[in-house]
Amino acid sequence: MTNWKITGGRVLTPDGFEEIDISIVEGYLSLDDHLGGAEIACEGCLVLPGIVDAHGDGFERVIRPRAGVDFPLPLALQEADRQMIGNGITTAYHGLTASWETGLRSFDAARTFLDILADVAPTLDCDTRVNLRWEVFCLDPLDELISWLDRSPELVLSLNDHLTAYLDLPPDHRKIIRMAERMETPREEVVAQIAALHERIDELPEAIARVTKAATALGLTVFAHDETSPDQRRANRALGVSVSEFPMTWDTARETAAGHEHIVLGAPNVLRGGSQNNAIDAEPAISSGLCSVLSSDYYYPAPLLAAFALADRGVVPLETAWRLVSSSPAEAVGLSDRGRIAEGLRADVLIIDAETRRLKTVFAGGRRVLQRD
């Protein structure tokens, strides 16, 4: 592995921006400027830790770019990898849904995805992991789901319930239309299936407790997606769920912050100026200390662009904004070896032109995986 010396840039360290030289030695960072290596002169550039994306499902649109058109998973994973690296994401948690649905988000599709990712991951430049989005009404295959947790110590588990929000929606509602298209199932059948599954609601508490107990016993981080109230946050906290992912209300976010827990919101929310599903807005949440992590959600360019947008708008300084996409998500998912430029950490480094914001160089695990003029 080539060693590198990065000189002349403004480096974001845990103490803020510093005009120092850093080295990459055998894949790890060193702040000893006397070490040798191939030199990269980056005057006029920012040197930033690589982006850690705790939740991104943009890969779904790579697998299925239009209805009825699917690409082979190995090919799609390679393309998603190029997109993530090209947008500065050096660690990614694919938001993989394991659901009661048929089709793209089915339990069977999740099983296949995990198997193929295990084979393909060593060929990817981005350290690609899984945010396993268990739809809690997917009640029958719990034994297999728990076995996935045991075999995949690098994933995070996310509790999801998209069924309840769809209950009683008519077949011509846009959400039902989108779900039916994804499931490749007639809309009327989707509505009937939702109603039938909801009749099993009394089974949820025991199932959720069982799965979260298994996850926390293995030391896995557990997220809760779309929490709707402080009471739900407190109940999930009691189960060991430590991260609130896209809380739906301000009171829920405040309860999470009061518990010193991480709050994940979508970086596209920042860019678009609001939530696309009428949840809380990311920019005022960040201003109020009610968001600690920004994720790509459905758009891989968003974390990098959102960090600069927050700084440009005067919401927070760039060093604070960048922590939302690097050190804080690393902390949220339990990774202590990345997300910062500090001695001995994994060398995930971005070099960005300070004026144009053009991403020029990406190092992932010490390897230079992208270089642009």
Q: Please say whether the beta carbons of 338 and 331 come within 8 A.
A: no
The answer for residues whose C-beta is within 8 angstroms of residue 247's C-beta and 6 or more apart is 226, 227, 233, 253, 256, 263, 279, 280
Alpha-carbon distances of 368 from 26, 42, 69, rounded to whole Å? 12, 15, 33
Quick one: 26 and 88 in the same domain? no
**Tokens representing residue 98 in the block:** 């394991």
pLDDT at 243: 98
Q: Which residue has the higher pLDDT, 304 or 276?
A: 304
Alpha-carbon distances of 310 from 91, 213, 223, 319, rounded to whole Å? 22, 38, 25, 10
Quick one: 232 and 265 in the same domain? yes
What total of structural domains would you count in the chain?
2
Quick one: 75 and 181 in the same domain? yes
The CATH number linked to 362 is 2.30.40.10
Say whether pTM exceeds 0.85. yes
The CATH number linked to 190 is 3.20.20.140
Q: 55-66: buried (b, 16+ CB within 10 Å) or exposed (e) per residue?
A: bbbbbbebbbee
Quick one: 55 and 45 in the same domain? no
Mean pLDDT of the chain, nearest integer: 95
pLDDT at 373: 85
CA pair distance 62, 59, nearest whole angstrom: 5
Residues 281-316: tens digit of each pLDDT: 999 999 999 999 999 999 999 999 999 999 999 999
pLDDT grade for 277, boundaries at 50, 70 and 90: low
CA pair distance 252, 241, nearest whole angstrom: 14
Quick one: 267 and 355 in the same domain? no
Quick one: 363 and 256 in the same domain? no
Residues 114-173: tens digit of each pLDDT: 999 999 999 999 999 999 999 999 999 999 999 999 988 899 999 999 999 999 999 999
List the beta bridge partners of residue 41: 7
Closest of 334, 335, 325 to residue 286, by C-alpha: 325
Residues 63-109: tens digit of each pLDDT: 999 888 999 999 999 999 999 999 999 999 999 999 999 999 999 99
**Tokens representing residue 287 in the block:** 């201003």
Residue written as token pair 């649109």: 61
- Quickly count: other Cβ atoms within 10 Å of residue 193's Cβ: 18
pLDDT grade for 276, boundaries at 50, 70 and 90: low
pLDDT at 182: 92
Closest of 207, 235, 186 to residue 135, by C-alpha: 207
Quick one: 103 and 193 in the same domain? yes
Q: Please say whether the beta carbons of 291 and 329 come within 8 A.
A: no
CA pair distance 233, 30, nearest whole angstrom: 40
Quick one: 121 and 68 in the same domain? yes
pLDDT at 279: 74
pLDDT grade for 278, boundaries at 50, 70 and 90: low
pLDDT grade for 35, boundaries at 50, 70 and 90: confident
CA pair distance 1, 82, nearest whole angstrom: 21
| Parallel/antiparallel/unpaired status of strands 51-56 and 89-98 | parallel
Quick one: 132 and 87 in the same domain? yes
Alpha-carbon distances of 146 from 211, 218, 235, 240, 243, rounded to whole Å? 7, 10, 21, 16, 20
**Is 274 a residue whose pLDDT tops 70?**
no
pLDDT at 308: 98
Quick one: 330 and 346 in the same domain? no
Residues 176-196: tens digit of each pLDDT: 999 999 999 999 999 999 999
- Mean pLDDT, rounded, for 51-56: 98
Question: Can you list the positions of beta strands (E) in the chain?
Answer: 4-7, 10-13, 16-18, 22-25, 28-30, 38-41, 45-49, 51-56, 89-98, 127-135, 156-160, 222-225, 243-245, 262-266, 293-295, 349-353, 359-364, 367-371
Quick one: 97 and 194 in the same domain? yes
Q: Give the up-direction half-sphere exposure of residue 8: CA atoms within 13 A in the CB hemisphere.
A: 10
Q: Please say whether the beta carbons of 310 and 283 come within 8 A.
A: yes
Which domain does 42 fall in, by range?
Answer: 1-49+340-373
Task: Tell me the Ramachandran region of residue 10: left when phi exceeds 0, alpha when psi lies from -120 to 50, beta otherwise.
Answer: beta
Quick one: 182 and 296 in the same domain? yes
